[in-house]
Structure 1
Amino acid sequence: MPRRTSRSAPHRLRTPGRLAGFLKTASICVLIAGLLSPLTQATAAAATAPNDYCGGQCSDILPPGENGNATLAQILLNQAFGTQPDHAEDQLGPYADLAGGYSALTDAKIDDFFNDASFGVASDQVASTEKPAGRTDVTIARDKKTGVPHITGTTRYGTEFGAGYAAAEDRLWLMDLFRHVGRGQLTTFAGGAPANQGLEQQFYRNAPYTEADLQAQIDSAVANNGDRGRQALDDANAYIAGINSYIDASDSGRYFPGEYVLTGHKDAITNAGTIDHFKLTDLVALASVIGSLFGSGGGGEVNNAISLLAAQSKYGVEEGTKVWESFRERNDPEAALTVHNGESFPYGAKPDSAQGEALPDAGSVTTEPLVYDATGTGASQSATSAAKAATASALGSARRGMSNALVVSGKHTASGHPIAVFGPQTGYFAPQLLMLQEIQGPGISARGASFAGLSMYVELGRGQDYSWSATTSGQDIIDSYAVELCQDDHHYLYHGTCTAMDKVEQKNSWKPTTADGTAAGSYTMRVWRTKYGPVAYRATVGGKKVAYTTLRSSYLHEADSIIGFQMLNDPGYVKGPKDFQSAAQHINFTFNWFYADSQHTAYYNSGDNPVRASGVDSEFPVWGQAAYEWKNWDPATNTAAYTPAAQHPNSVDQDYYISWNNKQALNYTTASWGDGSVHRGNLLDDRVKKLVAAGGVTRTKLVQAMADAALADLRAEDVLPDLLKVIDSSTVTDPTAAAAVGKLKTWLTAGGRRTETSPGSKAYADSEAIRILDAWWPLLVKAEFQPGLGDDLYTAFTANLPIDESPSAGHGPTGSHAGSSFQYGWWSYVDKDVRAVLGEPVQGPLAEKYCGGGDLSDCRSILISTLKEAAGTSASAVYPGDDLCSAGDQWCADSINQRTLGGIKHHTISWQNRPTFQQVVEYTSHR
């Protein structure tokens, strides 16, 4: 039987504005993949599946739940009474409970907070089985606890057909949304709410693809990868056939997702309207959402140039450049490293003499317009404010990071087998962007998470005797070129010839919405493309009019990574760490990949790193001229010479690995600002290093290290002690400041964590100290740095790097209620500056001393005065109210919200800074 729990309500409920604004955020993981070698069945008891070498010690979790589809009746019941469809929210509780339960954790209790991720389903745990579309070559079994689909096929086609069918059962509405996002058609599909406009505009600006561009990516991926490319095409066609089979079945049976009725695509009474079938290019559109924003490090060259010019204006060219470089922290010697054995992987270093730089004339930079011919709410919602709406959301931010990984070699574990606790932080959504699945068939044997609509293969998870996962790496694969204009604003010089830019447009319109009062509207998004990529800015350089373009190595190549994922799913290919690294090397997105089996651990940094021309500084725009192009660059295909695998940070069997979007290795420059002495990676590194030194690491101990770091306030743990040293350099006589210092010290003694007084209390222990630090941080950073830097440079640097991203800081890159925190901030700057003022040794110091102009007494006065101000700031001012929380509700301000991408809502949970999908693994044997 097709999967369903109820039928659509027998009436038409219209919100013509189309759930306007329900698509308010998201943050993505990445991916597509798997392949080759016949497999055993997955229907035996989980602990005895013959192709499972984990010995019952593989676990995973993915909140809020596997079921991301809901009928109209279920949506109405949820909105009226809070009832949940089966398996829509059942992984959220265990995930949330770890924050209060990790201290008493034992190996036997791990699956109280995670799912058993063994292969197969025990016979007494099978909730349902089905043969999709009546096929005899594939079975989808769902387990009672989570409803996860376990897909077992006897043919390759049937296996992938089942994967597509199961994906549509669990995420059809979300998949439909994101194929429209990837095509720049979200507002036409889902309504013209400001958040939808902003999200649509941000994605289209980064990946303005035509249908021909999408098809060309498919053709290229198939043509360039031999048998694997042809197999990937066959898999994709089978997968799409499965999706479309479910669309037809759910349409005729009238159990399709209720959002289609709420958005006017279907009529609840007559069943009029259609749900469009999927096609191959839709998968590339989905992949482009991932590739353009979440698997592509770099960019920001124009903003870098603006802040460099501000520094040079303030200090002069020579000293200003030194100041800029010290804040940029390209290769900070105090940074936490993933490959920490001293091995060097040079990339992105500052050249001795930069060549071809095209810095803009001061004040000349303007952002290239995107929106034209706007009417109605398209006109009233400016492109600027729409972009801000998107940036305030997790999905709309290209700076979104994925975390984290803790991997320990078997030399340091109690069992002698490696242990890993790892997963991506892809945000919290209803439904979740990722979905769980197990796939067993010819050439495929894996369980784990996949991005909805790209689940032909498991993208992060486990094979028969190994597991793998990823974090965002952020190395620079994007460059900005200044192309000199000629004839008019839409022609440029290319190799000396005046060449016309290509115009790509997407016209959108939407109907009125009663949901938020948005009226009808329309606009056209227009992008001008050059051989050096899309135009992003206009400016003058030395008085010459130029367009600044953005070129990334994965542009027009989002489909290429399918081969790497195919390999990771193939038990005939991955038999050890070197095979894993080879598979990861076929992924052109910028990620850190981690691996563990019963004998080995491994790491590999993926991405097509272009080989730049000699002397080119990747931090700044360069002239669009042959001398400064990537080596062997072909503009027709956007291919070039890339650094070889050996030059990417990589390692096998290091004592341990940690990653929380930190620096990968010595001399390997990422595009991220803030990879300095204090980074959230330190929270993991400090804890895992201690475990490894003590030896006898267990799954429980490694989970506890992760969970403890997940509740730590990075500022409190790694910066506050130095701030208090400055304050304690003399007796604190002011009673308000003294009381605040006392509260902060008490909190530090307790661990400096943001934890509830008791599980479920919705109130923090040491709440006053937490409030004081939350209020103090922005005050002290501004008072410490703005006087010395000056207003213009301080503003420019904060544009490069926000000063704070605490859980309550809605201004941070991830937005409020997003869970992931302390990814970006000025903690390293404060740490280095304060230690310098204290006279302590600082490697890679800032070029100047800023706190009190370098005078300890003056610095102390600044800290005390700002601390007093913070202590007197009310909770309602520190934690302003929003659509979820009342002003002053500290716990609620930090809480994690499953942001709605459809009609079903879930409850908020207490803050914890950890991956969304997470695995805990310790293999007991190997093939």
Structure 2
Amino acid sequence: MPRRTPQFALDRLRTPRRFHGFLKTASVCVLIAGLLSPFSQAMAAEAAPVNAAAAANDYCGGQCSDILPPGENGNATLAQILLNQAFGTQPGHAEDQLGPYAGLPTGYSSLTDAKINDFFNDASFGVPSDQVASTEKPAGRGDVTIVRDKKSGVPHITGTTRYGTEFGAGYAAAEDRLWLMDVFRHVGRGQLTAFAGGAASNQGLEQEFWRNAPYTEADLQGQIDNAVAKAGPRGRQALADVNAYLAGVNAYIDASDSGRYFPGEYVLTGHKDAITNAGTIEHFKVTDLVALASVIGSLFGSGGGGEVNNALSLLAAQAKYGVQEGTKVWESFRERNDPEAVLTVHDGRSFPYATKPDSAQGEALPDAGSVTQEPLVYDRTGSAATSAAKGASTTAAKTSLSSARRGMSNALVVGGKSTASGHPVAVFGPQTGYFAPQLLMLQEIQGPGISARGASFAGLSMYVELGRGQDYSWSATTSGQDIIDTYAVELCQDDYHYLYHGACTAMDKVEQTNSWKPTVADGTAAGSYTMRVWRTKYGPVEYRATVGGKKVAYTTLRSSFLHEADSIIGFQMLNDPDYVKGPQDFQQATQHINFTFNWFYADSSHVAYYNSGDNPVRASGVDAEFPVWARQGYEWRNWDPATNTADYTPASAHPNSVDQDYYVSWNNKQALDYATASWGDGSVHRGNLLEDRVKKLVAAGGVTRASLTRAMADAALADLRAEDVLPELLKVIDSSAVTDSTAAAAVSKLQAWVTAGAKRTETSAGSKAYANADAIRILDAWWPLLVKAEFEPGLGSDLYAAITNNLPIDESPSAGHGPTGSHAGSAFQYGWWSYVDKDIRTVLGEQVSGPLAQKYCGGGSLSACRDVLISTLKQAAGMTAAQVYPGDDQCSAGDQWCADSIVQRALGGIKHGKISWQNRPTFQQVVEYTSHR
């Protein structure tokens, strides 16, 4: 399956034919009456307003805001789905955050602090009495109340007991995201097709996740047992919280079933009958939450992997240039520790991790042409095989989630010395993709030992995972440091036995068989297949090859494998007002999170940063970039295969900081000498868009919430190539030397765009047409042409293709081939921006720190490079909009705005409209605290 944000076949949910007539007759009224939304029926139980406006524990002074499109309500009854698909009507609070979110690109230039909540929600604690939409005592409990506000329908959960508080959190989660929670517990178990139908994209999704976390029920339960035992009193409290949360979820399932206002997708996928109410919605159990956590951890917090691809590109470089020069070339493209890379911790401190050893030990590079991917699918019947399930590949080009091609979140944090008020200001949030309903949900939780508001992943919302406490806010970006290693296990006896410490040992076979029936959701025929993973003590088998003629299996071992549940303790601490009272407490809390994230903090006086993750201590001489032999001398230090535990680097060795002047992060490099698994951390990175703007604000001083938000929004509309690379390309071309009229006109348009700010912005709000549209089209067409023409002649086709497998050349907003796919919003995370920048500056004779090993454009000749650029520019300028933007299931060919547009990919039956492109977090906070406890 392509490395991209998952796109479910669930977005194909369609109205079953037997319900079409209801939309044309009065029968729809009967259907609606019988399938009322929980927002109109269950929540109307109490109308008495609750005044929680002046919360005594809120120290933000009305200066905390947040936003999470499309809307808080992610559940829809069958009637609401039918009406949405027939007439476009929306359930209450299903998309009311989409408009303000979409409006920022055309409204940010005149933004003031007073106007921030035109584009964000007020994230103060509590709900003013005149803003209470409803109150509810879930399941009639007297120890918890759920209040929802009028503006966004966010649940504000207040409990007098810890159990009641968590019960309310579970109940509210099910009210807002029951169907999505059910989808993801099945994805985590590799059972999506059996649950939602056998569409090809459903198959590909469950295969990708299950390959990386092929857990049995015993594995899932073992995670809970181990996490609780390891964490002592906090672990026992976490388990109690989870059980109370599950009780709330299941209470809502029972209530919605008996009241017949459960999500309509259960009818559309055959789990419930709309007429008789026959069928069941299964209760949730504790292992379901571990399955959910394994999906989220794999998707956003599991950096590393890709060692086999790295080996293939290194071998290609050595084949082209010889071992010594080829290795030098490969290292220059890898940019392990590029001196020109933007850093989050920029105070000069070094945090060595996974650095290049002087003399690598234990490397197990494959023999040329021997690598095949381990097949996952067996015994297929019914639907045709998908590309993700076909036979073994001859290359390792299509890696899965372990490739670390995720991340997309950003953070802008400025210390009080540079702000107008003297208090820190932060604008930050995670980019989790655009879905309907959204993967995250908003909530406020107030109860014994818990006081927080913010976003949580649906089904894991017993705590707020990203948001604010009483006098502090926190957020995260994906960091991607390497916690995954590839081991070459020597085979013995047959293909399913391997040497472990000298003994021939059988691999464990883990299988998952799925059968599905035809459903109205996807229209596929009935079918079934079995997924099979072979597990070793060194992790699941991903590839097979030979090394020096010996047959091996390449396995993938990650430190978070069998430990996704461990991170619950860190989130519990972040929600505990008695634990987090300052930046050091925040850092200690995030240290308990084993997923690979950059964490940011702001209160009224301090800012802070910490990089989390269980970073294994590798054996001396092991190069984390490449596969190593599965032998005792190359294992992680004190590694125990029974529990997959080892020695991990101490907290002080993780990039960390308190009260640096400012922090920026857009999935860029964390600190000097700290190795990430990502390629492309070089001179031009998406993080530069934030660095340049925030550094300028800090130098001027007087930073406000509005000015920092404007900086974020400005960067969100910038074309990285046009802002940071195009000026150099135009310098090489030299407009005065261009004689071809087509090329000259293109140069003129591109220069005008750069002068205008190099942004992809509408001519006016809602115009659905770009200013500088021709220039944007030309660059979109030119970039892949120029990169290929610049580098392939020198590298050769094999090495060029191999490095492209490590790092795609382009990820513009319309580039459906990029890691995040079409209509995903996030762009410019992965591309050859730095390579082009360094090469062009070298050809121009400019100073380059950390240059590529050779000159490539025109063979290093300035005049020949100019010819290459002009010829490819002429070709690009001659391409029509329909050629550059060929159209897809969302857009007609040639529609430039639509090709860039953000689509809320449907995970259920409700659809939303497209919005204009912006490169921005999904959930986002704007905060400035006025006081502290």
Whole-angstrom CA distance in 1 between matches of 2:534 and 2:725: 46
Counterpart in the other structure of 2:765? 759
Counterpart in the other structure of 1:23? none
Query: What aligned pairs does 1:412-491 form with structure 2 within 5 A after superposition?
Result: 412-491=418-497
Q: Is 1:810 the counterpart of 2:810 in the alignment? A: no
The alpha-carbon deviation at position 46 of structure 1 amounts to 6.3
Counterpart in the other structure of 1:200? 206
The alpha-carbon deviation at position 384 of structure 1 amounts to 4.0
Q: In the alignment, which of 147, 150, 155 is matched to residue 149 of structure 1?
A: 155
The alpha-carbon deviation at position 387 of structure 1 amounts to 11
Q: In the alignment, which of 700, 710, 715 is matched to residue 709 of structure 1?
A: 715
Counterpart in the other structure of 1:604? 610
Q: Is 1:164 the counterpart of 2:170 in the alignment? A: yes
- Aligned to 2:737, the other structure's residue is in SS state coil
Counterpart in the other structure of 1:326? 332
Counterpart in the other structure of 2:32? none
The alpha-carbon deviation at position 398 of structure 1 amounts to 5.2
Q: Is the 8 A contact 2:475 2:601 kept in 1?
A: yes
Q: Is 1:550 the counterpart of 2:556 in the alignment? A: yes
Whole-angstrom CA distance in 2 between matches of 1:605 and 1:879: 39
Q: Is the 8 A contact 1:879 1:887 kept in 2?
A: yes
Q: Is 1:576 the counterpart of 2:582 in the alignment? A: yes
Greater CA deviation, 403-412 or 284-293? 284-293
Q: In the alignment, which of 665, 688, 692 is matched to residue 686 of structure 1?
A: 692
Counterpart in the other structure of 1:18? none
Whole-angstrom CA distance in 2 between matches of 1:478 and 1:369: 21
Counterpart in the other structure of 2:145? 139
Q: In the alignment, which of 661, 665, 669 is matched to residue 655 of structure 1?
A: 661
Q: Is the 8 A contact 2:100 2:118 kept in 1?
A: yes
- Aligned to 1:862, the other structure's residue is in SS state helix
The alpha-carbon deviation at position 863 of structure 1 amounts to 0.2
Whole-angstrom CA distance in 1 between matches of 2:895 and 2:621: 53
Whole-angstrom CA distance in 2 between matches of 1:499 and 1:599: 57
Q: Is the 8 A contact 2:442 2:453 kept in 1?
A: yes
Counterpart in the other structure of 1:855? 861
Q: Is the 8 A contact 2:317 2:330 kept in 1?
A: yes
The alpha-carbon deviation at position 12 of structure 1 amounts to 6.7
Q: In the alignment, which of 870, 894, 897 is matched to residue 900 of structure 2?
A: 894
How has the CA–CA distance of structure 1 residues 910 and 698 changed in structure 2, closer, same or farther, with 3 Å as cutoff?
same
Whole-angstrom CA distance in 2 between matches of 1:167 and 1:598: 31
The alpha-carbon deviation at position 293 of structure 1 amounts to 2.9
Whole-angstrom CA distance in 1 between matches of 2:591 and 2:811: 32
How has the CA–CA distance of structure 1 residues 10 and 95 changed in structure 2, closer, same or farther, with 3 Å as cutoff?
closer
Counterpart in the other structure of 2:641? 635
The alpha-carbon deviation at position 394 of structure 1 amounts to 12
The alpha-carbon deviation at position 519 of structure 1 amounts to 1.2
The alpha-carbon deviation at position 730 of structure 1 amounts to 5.5
Counterpart in the other structure of 1:272? 278
Query: What aligned pairs does 1:77-476 form with structure 2 within 5 A after superposition?
Result: 77-377=83-383, 379=385, 383-384=389-390, 399-476=405-482
Whole-angstrom CA distance in 1 between matches of 2:393 and 2:705: 43
Q: Is the 8 A contact 2:485 2:558 kept in 1?
A: yes
2:184 maps to a residue whose letter is F
Q: Is 1:874 the counterpart of 2:880 in the alignment? A: yes
- Aligned to 2:638, the other structure's residue is in SS state coil
Q: Is the 8 A contact 1:378 1:523 kept in 2?
A: no
The alpha-carbon deviation at position 386 of structure 1 amounts to 13
Counterpart in the other structure of 2:739? 733
Whole-angstrom CA distance in 1 between matches of 2:564 and 2:356: 29
Whole-angstrom CA distance in 1 between matches of 2:751 and 2:391: 42
2:134 maps to a residue whose letter is S
The alpha-carbon deviation at position 163 of structure 1 amounts to 0.1
Q: In the alignment, which of 567, 575, 579 is matched to residue 573 of structure 2?
A: 567
Deviations 1:460-494 (A, max 9, x none): 00000000000000000000000000000000000
TM-score by length of 1: 0.94
Structure 2: runs of 5 or more not aligned = 1-14, 22-47
The alpha-carbon deviation at position 48 of structure 1 amounts to 2.3
Whole-angstrom CA distance in 2 between matches of 1:328 and 1:645: 27
Whole-angstrom CA distance in 1 between matches of 2:798 and 2:373: 19
1:638 maps to a residue whose letter is N
Q: Is the 8 A contact 2:212 2:402 kept in 1?
A: no
- Aligned to 1:48, the other structure's residue is in SS state coil
The alpha-carbon deviation at position 49 of structure 1 amounts to 1.0
- Aligned to 2:676, the other structure's residue is in SS state coil
- Aligned to 1:742, the other structure's residue is in SS state helix
Q: Is the 8 A contact 1:44 1:120 kept in 2?
A: no
Q: In the alignment, which of 509, 516, 520 is matched to residue 515 of structure 2?
A: 509
- Aligned to 1:534, the other structure's residue is in SS state strand
TM-score by length of 2: 0.94
- Aligned to 1:272, the other structure's residue is in SS state coil
How has the CA–CA distance of structure 1 residues 380 and 642 changed in structure 2, closer, same or farther, with 3 Å as cutoff?
closer
Deviations 1:63-113 (A, max 9, x none): 000000000000000000000000000000000000000001010000000
Greater CA deviation, 417-426 or 509-518? 509-518
Counterpart in the other structure of 1:831? 837
Q: How many residues align?
A: 891
Counterpart in the other structure of 2:38? none
2:178 maps to a residue whose letter is L
Whole-angstrom CA distance in 2 between matches of 1:720 and 1:381: 36
Counterpart in the other structure of 2:34? none
How has the CA–CA distance of structure 1 residues 380 and 483 changed in structure 2, closer, same or farther, with 3 Å as cutoff?
closer
Percent identity, please.
85
Q: Is 1:63 the counterpart of 2:69 in the alignment? A: yes
Q: Is 1:695 the counterpart of 2:698 in the alignment? A: no
Q: Is the 8 A contact 2:604 2:929 kept in 1?
A: yes
Q: Is the 8 A contact 1:165 1:239 kept in 2?
A: yes
- Aligned to 1:220, the other structure's residue is in SS state helix
Whole-angstrom CA distance in 2 between matches of 1:398 and 1:426: 14
1:126 maps to a residue whose letter is V
Whole-angstrom CA distance in 1 between matches of 2:521 and 2:164: 42
Counterpart in the other structure of 1:38? none
Structure 1: runs of 5 or more not aligned = 1-8, 16-41
Q: Is the 8 A contact 2:409 2:431 kept in 1?
A: yes
The alpha-carbon deviation at position 393 of structure 1 amounts to 14
Whole-angstrom CA distance in 1 between matches of 2:533 and 2:505: 16
Q: Is the 8 A contact 1:394 1:815 kept in 2?
A: no
Deviations 1:213-235 (A, max 9, x none): 00000000000011100000000
Counterpart in the other structure of 1:33? none
2:636 maps to a residue whose letter is W
Q: Is the 8 A contact 1:471 1:592 kept in 2?
A: yes
Whole-angstrom CA distance in 2 between matches of 1:387 and 1:655: 49
Greater CA deviation, 543-552 or 731-740? 731-740
